[in-house]
Amino acid sequence: MSLTFLFRTITRDVPKVSIFQPVQSLHTGCQLLAAEKALLMKLRKSTGYTFINCKKALEKFDNDMAQAETWLHEQAQKEGWSKASKLEGRKAKEGLIGVFVGDKAAVMVEVNCETDFVARNEKFQQLVRDVTFATLAHHRNKTQRQPGYVKSVLSSDELSKLSVGEGASLADQVALTIGRLGENMSLKRAVTVGVPAEWEIGSYVHGGVSSQTEVAMGRYGALVIFQGGKEGEQETLGRKLGQHIVGEAPLSLGNMDDLPCGESETRLLPQTFLADTSRTVAQFLRGQQARVLDFVRFQCGETPDNTE
């Protein structure tokens, strides 16, 4: 038997192995890693939870996004309530006032936290938005058949029972945010107003959060209910009145004919008008052919005593 014949026989019987096979496996593995990384990034972006927790959730549910997200929320809720109970005794005097004015209805809420640093956090501001719109929905459901002027004041306990859409209660949302940010928080109070077609609602927020547009937020807020005003200038009039209420902190309305009693004056109408110190608020309103019917002022962290 020749050596040539023997070599041909051996090479014919040896299985053919493609030199490209390991490369293909490596390519497939890279694709899987890229897909898993994309899922991880998507889950992280949609939930806001840490990469470690998102990775753990995806591994637990074999990359099922819906189940992973549900599990993350459940775990965060449990941790939030646990942390909320531990932080319950800590003072929460900082926070934000949220104001929203819609079609003949308005809402003003106060949500508190421990520090101004957390008040500037986007997650805390989302909580303020949730509280504002949950309160507005409650107002509309409660007053949709009530004519005339309707004003409602909600306490902390009443706010906690409201829901965000058809989802979690505001109490759950607060606990969730506490779990994420690590500070004690509370729903302080809210006021809602609804007015008839011929009335106007003015508003003003001081110390505002510039990134917020839909819901105005700041450390001070005011709503003012008024009638009249020059055509097309009611919004400006409402803002000027709101600025005065925030700046001068009146405690009651007073009457158009009341005489002012100096710098200690606490009635709105006889106070010197902030935007024109040559006149009282009442004198300014006469020039605008308008009259104020009611107002509400919130200052973040104050003891409420003049909401009614």
Question: Domains of the chain, with CATH numbers?
Answer: 37-87 (1.10.8.10), 94-299 (3.30.479.20)
pTM recorded for the entire structure: 0.75
pLDDT per residue rounded down to tens, the chain (308 residues): 554 544 455 455 544 444 334 444 444 455 556 667 888 888 877 766 667 778 878 888 888 888 888 877 777 666 666 666 777 778 899 999 999 999 899 999 999 999 999 999 999 999 999 999 999 999 998 887 778 999 999 999 999 999 987 778 899 899 889 888 889 999 999 999 999 999 999 999 998 776 667 899 999 999 999 999 999 999 999 999 999 999 999 999 999 999 998 889 999 999 999 999 999 999 999 999 999 999 999 999 998 765 55
Dump the DSSP string for the chain. Answer: --HHHHHHHHHHHSPP--TTHHHHHHHHHHHHHHHHHHHHHHHHHHH---HHHHHHHHHHTTT-HHHHHHHHHHHHHHHHHHHHHHHTTS---EEEEEEEE-SSEEEEEEEEES-HHHHTSHHHHHHHHHHHHHHHHHHHHHHTT--S-EEEEE-HHHHHT-BSTTS-BHHHHHHHHHHHH-S--EEEEEEEEE--TTEEEEEEEES--TT--SSEEESEEEEEEEEE--TT-HHHHHHHHHHHHHHH--SB---TTPPP-GGG--BTTTSBPTT-TTSBHHHHHHHHTEEEEEEEEEETTPPP-S--
pLDDT at 56: 79
Instruction: Give the model's pLDDT for residue 30.
Output: 59
What pLDDT sits at residue 21?
Answer: 46
